[in-house]
Structure 1
């Protein structure tokens, strides 16, 4: 089954904690092992100095991996983060962030992903993450 962005949004609503939903993430694309989510700019997510908090970007990257795995599997399955490593490259002020996920390997019990966070309308990388997920279902 091929998932659509509306399916990704449903996965978010039905499987994530309220504080993750408060990020306002929107699924823009879902493919076979790929996903793009939008993290809308919000003053609520800014830290001292006005830049988007790293915690918000890390949560968005982590959440995007779930959607990409679901896209590859044709639907949601229980899974959990095993490892998430994030490098921040530049601050984000007043701009939405696009979270692009690509699975580099999907096994029976583990998924490996690369996540690139860019400014909306700009290819400048603001952060990069790599993740490993355990698939439990």
Structure 2
């Protein structure tokens, strides 16, 4: 079963150190997806105090890996094959929350969408559509 403990272990053991440095936490998991939080930090900002797009794209991608794992009941190796991101408004001086939903989970591919919002503001900061190739387990 893919629960909070499994997700926390996955965050520490599967992702690269620079992803771990984003300050992510798992807010919730269910059969349809996952919600992750990226804590605000000046290190994630451009020179004007706005959280950079690279950090937002990484949050969306990482949240979707958790959503696919939650929907599938366990982590499975996967690789991003497509990510389309639409930036709608700047995020500054607030945590960013990623609500990742699985649209389709097949045997070899998974598709999903992620909505990013600034904590306390329901208006979307960005929206992403993602696709993953689900890889066979290594022996």
Please tell me the TM-score bracket, short chain as reference: over 0.9
TM-score scaled by structure 1?
0.96
How many residues are matched? 136
Structure 2 match to 1:34: 33
Give distance in 2, aligned partners of 1:97 and 1:4.
22
Report runs of 4+ in structure 1 exceeding 2 Å deviation.
Answer: 3-7
Q: Which residue of 2 aligns with 1:57?
A: 56
Number of the residue aligned with 1:99: 98
Q: Is the 8 A contact 1:4 1:29 kept in 2?
A: no
- Give CA-to-partner distance per residue, 1:47-81, whole Å, 9 cap, x none: 01110000000000000111011101111110000
Q: TM-score, normalised by structure 2?
A: 0.94
Partner of 1:112: 111
* CA deviation vs aligned residue, 1:75-98 (integer Å, no higher than 9, x gap): 111000000000101111100010
Structure 1 regions of 5+ residues with no counterpart?
A: none
Unaligned runs of 5+ in 2: none
Q: Tell me the secondary structure at the aligned position of residue 64 of structure 1.
A: helix
CA RMSD across the alignment: 0.9
